[in-house]
Amino acid sequence: MAVITITTENFEDEVKNSEIPVLVDFWAAWCGPCQMQGPVVDQAAEAFAGKLKVGKLNVDEQGELAQKYGVMSIPTLILFKGGEAVKKEVGFHSLEEISAMIP
């Protein structure tokens, strides 16, 4: 399953109304650890295709959503289930660590 770019315009449909859990990677282009996290998030999208939707949210472009969910440092991974944020992890995480977040 492809990684989705999350914006304020599609957040409701892609995250809040999703029938399966959604992992959102809050990142920025200038963030070194975010550049390392990106490929791992891509791997998670492939590994959990059909069980998990994966999206990336650029905090520089979507600051309002980052602020709403208390993202103070990046990368931050937030798992949404039933439209609600249920888990939040800050910093780089391996595929194994991401796997442990998934219900």
Clarify whether 34 is annotated catalytic: yes
If one counts every other C-beta atom within 10 angstroms of the C-beta of residue 46, the result is 12
Exposed (0-12), middle (13-18) or buried (19+): which is 44, by Cβ within 10 Å? Answer: buried
Clarify whether 31 is annotated catalytic: yes
Name the active-site residue from 24, 34, 45, 71.
34
Rounded CA-CA distance 44/22 in Å is 11
Closest CA to 8 of 21, 24, 30: 24
Name the active-site residue from 1, 28, 31, 47.
31
Catalytic residues: 31, 34
